[in-house]
Each structure stands twice: as structure tokens, then as C-alpha cells.
Chain A
Amino acid sequence: MNGYRKWIAFYTMLRKDIVRIFRIWVQTFLPSVVTSVLYFSVFGTVLGSRIGTMQGVDYMTFVIPGLVMLAIVTSAYANSSFTFFQSKFFARSIDEMLVSPMPPWLIIAGFVSGGIIRGILVGTLVMIVSLFFTGLQLAIHNVLIIFGFAILTSLVFALAGLVNGVYAKSIDGINLVPTFVLTPLVYLGGIFYSVHNLPGWWQAITYANPLFYLINGFRYGFLGISDVSIATAVGILSVLIVALVGVNWYLIRTGLGLKQ
């Protein structure tokens, strides 16, 4: 396969996934939007007025970046874990790609890119929805950091979701991790509070949570405030990406967990 053919193959995968994402928008877009409307209503409007400010900004403004991040993380993860799992177990349509001359890294790139696209789309939607709760005001400190973190975070969680999809033996296998690992990590990663509001031991645990760095880096892009330095956040993100690319590379070599 020359470069052009590889591009066509990649484009085919991506196009197919984007068509699917838009076709089943009730499952792909709506849940995150509904969830964040609830959060914005409860935490922003109802409770927010009682909480007042957090790190010097209005509470509603403080939680928006974290909730957008939550949407990105869960969407990117769900997309690649589910599409891979489905094509492996459901009628084994993954065979269509395995018999083709697409090298394994290209197949992985196709699945991961679908996750990135969905992560960014859903994140953007949630951000737009948030505007209705802030009187159409959006604080932006540094657009590049916002986009950078959004894309890298979707990459990380699309890669992680793919690993999950490869190892999952049943549909429960792809629901367990988001429920018991991902969601707690995001919630405890400082969406709703600054780490400085926590008791010492809890702070220590928070520093071990990778999501904490991502949320803070992302929030810095909007508000210019962060509990950690951006360099640290980028460093952690890079380590995650390298580690996950490593795991996926291993899966490539052993046949993606697909071949007997």
C-alpha cells in the first residue's frame, strides 16, 4: 500500500465512523449534553450561588472546564472501546479490515481517530451548552492550550478505550472501566473543587490521579488558574500517550488480540 492508498483506507474508516456517530446522535451526543445541563443547573445555578467563588472565580465558571473535560474523556473512551468491541464480537466485521492490506497501526489509527473526533465534537457541544448558563460569556485565557489539551486528552482516552475494547470479552467488559475507574477518576480529579480545599491526605491522593493534571491544564486554558504547572500537566499527558501507544503496539504485534 502506498501512502495515497493508506490515506484512502484511513479516510474510509474515519468517514464510516463519523457517519455512524451522527446517525446515532441520540446515543453519541445527547447523553453528555443532558448530563452537563443537569450539572450546570445544579452546581452552577442552584448551589453555585451559595458556594460563591473558587480560586477567585465564580463557581459556575470554575466547573465548566472540568465538565467539558468529563464529556471529552467519556466520549472518546466510549467511542473507540465500543466500535472496536462491536466489530470484533458483532458479526466479526473486523475481518474486513484484517484481510485488507491495511497495516495494523493504520487500523488502530482509524479507531482512535473516530474517538478523537467524537471527543472534540461532544466537548464543543457541552461548551456551547454551558454558554446558556453563563449569560453567553466564556472566559478564554489561551486558545492553543484549550485545543491542545482537548485533542491530547481525547487521544489518550481513545487509545485507552481501544485497549479496553481489545481485551473486553463481553459488553460488560467495556462498561466496567468507565463506571468504576474513569468516572471516579474524573470526579476526584478536581472538577468541582480546587485541590487546596481538600485535607492533606486527600490532596496527596489527588496528586496521583492523572485526570487531575488534565483537568487543571484544561482549566488553565480557560481561566489562567491552575493547581499545578502546565509543564507538569503536559509531561503527565505525554507519559500517558507514550505508555498507551506502547500497549497498543504490543497488541499489534500479537495480532490485536484478534487472531487465534
Chain B
Amino acid sequence: MASALVIKNLKKTYGNGVHALKGVSLEVPEGDFFALLGPNGAGKTTIIGITAGLVNKTSGAVSVFEHDIDSEPEIAKAQIGLVGQEVNFNPFEKPLDIVVNQGGYYGIPRSIALPRAKKLLEDLGLGDKMNQNGLTLSGGMKRRLMIARALIHTPRFLILDEPTAGVDVELRRGMWDYLRKLTSEGLTILLTTHYLEEAEQLAKHVAIINKGSIVASGTMDEILAMHEDKGESKEGYRGGRLEEVFLKLTSEK
């Protein structure tokens, strides 16, 4: 099966000299629900930014459904829907306009984008908000608006950078169900999250990144198998298995 995303030896040094990525290689199979995990500052957003065309890479290669982002940027970008980590829409615009205009940037005429945008906003529970100022949306609603915006051009590959940050439990479950439904329809999803238990339940493949390098990757089962439960009764809080593996791989010792 084809790969939705292939990253080879990706390096990124920011203008201020920070080596954010030190040679990352990664593959996301088509149809996957892929979790990219790592502590704050590990380089997750940088990888996503380069893939989506928001950050220039220093070296390495990235291709989306076998279209190189340098030589075929238009085709590669048309496959991707991005939900960024930071809210990045103009809050003085209305959700419906934001989503319809985004369709326009992908070349979708208004007559097609309008009904599609309404449906997406309704599916994401924003039906009654679509003609209000973006300013009036709560944090969780803003996230869902960004998901609707990312889906307007029916991408094959959806990238979500911490989509559930600041979203309450009930809505978070709803969002996971929605994303799961999308993968069952064939959409490939890559996401980052700091909610490891949710990732453990949902993701098929995982990559763990720390300080700009991938420290583990594989199927969820393979990663979980790295967890050795010695049965010692440790003091204090203990999380799920993925959390234990994550900490073992990323904490400084």
C-alpha cells in the first residue's frame, strides 16, 4: 500500500541556531491513524510545519502520497488538510466565510464550497455559530472550526497538531469518534497529542520524538511491548503503559 507521508533524514535549524530536527525519518502508511508523540519542544510542530509548507526545511526529503513537497508542491499540498497547533484564523470573520474561503484557496468554487462548509460545521457541532464572529467562539469551538476548515477540500491526509488541547472531556470523545469515523472512510490521520491514554487507544502506529530525533517508532503494540512491568509497586502516580514507555524514552537520565 502507498504511504501517505514519507520523511527522509529531515533536518531543521532555525534562524536562531536551534537544531529542531536532527535527521528525522518517518513513514505514515495510507489509511493509518498515526500518533506523533514527544515532550514540549521535541520538534513535532516543526515536522508538521515543513510537511504542510509553513516552514522551510534545512535538508532532507518529504513526500505526500509520493509527491515531493519541493518538486510538486501544489499536488502535495492539495492532499493535506492541516489543523495547526495555534489558532490561526481571523477572529473578525464568520466561521462559514472562513471555511468557504479556505475552499476557494484550493480552487473550489463557492457554489460547491458553501453547502459542504455548512455540512462540516454542522457535523462538528457549530451549526448555530456559523454566522457569528469567530471572536465569539470558545476555545474548543475554535479547534472544531479549524477541523472543518481543514476538511473543506476533502484531503486524503489530515494532520492535527494537538487538536484536543483545551477541549473538555465530552467534546474530546466526540472529536475522537469523529476522527475515527473519518479514518474508517479512508482518510489518513497524523496527530500529535499530550493525552497519551487516548493515543494508546486510538493510534495504529506511533513515533516518539525527543529533542529532534525519533527515539522509537512502530505499531502501537510494538511500542507498548517495550514496557517492562517488573511488578514493583512504585510510589506515586502511574499512568498507562504508553505513558511509561514514553517517559522511559524521553526523560533525561
Spell out A's residues near B (CB within 8 Å).
1-2, 4-6, 8-9, 11-13, 15-16, 86-87, 90-93, 95-103, 255, 259-260
Contacts and interface: CB of A to CB of B under 8 A. Distances in A.
Contacts of A93: 88-90
Nearest to A107: B105
Given A259-B55, A260-B55, A87 B90 contact: yes
A96 to B, nearest CB: 6
A24 B97 CA distance: 17
Given A100-B77, A255-B56, A1 B90 contact: no
Contact of A5 (B14, B80, B82, B107): B107
Contact of B80 (A90, A91, A99): A99
Interface residues of B, number: 33
Contacts of B52: 99
Nearest to B75: A101
B186 interface: no
A91 B102 contact: no
B41 interface: no
Contact of B53 (A6, A15, A98): A98
A141 B97 CA distance: 44
Interface of B: 14-15, 49, 52-56, 73-75, 77-78, 80, 82, 84, 86-91, 97-98, 101-102, 104-109, 149
Contacts of B14: 260
Contacts of B73: 101, 103
B15 A260 contact: yes
A259 B88 contact: no
B55 A8 contact: no
Given A255-B56, A259-B55, A260-B14, A11 B104 contact: yes
Contacts of A90: 90
A8 B108 contact: yes
A191 B143 CA distance: 52
B166 to A, nearest CB: 16
B84 A95 contact: yes
**Which of B55, B80, B88: most chain A CB closer than 10 A?**
B88
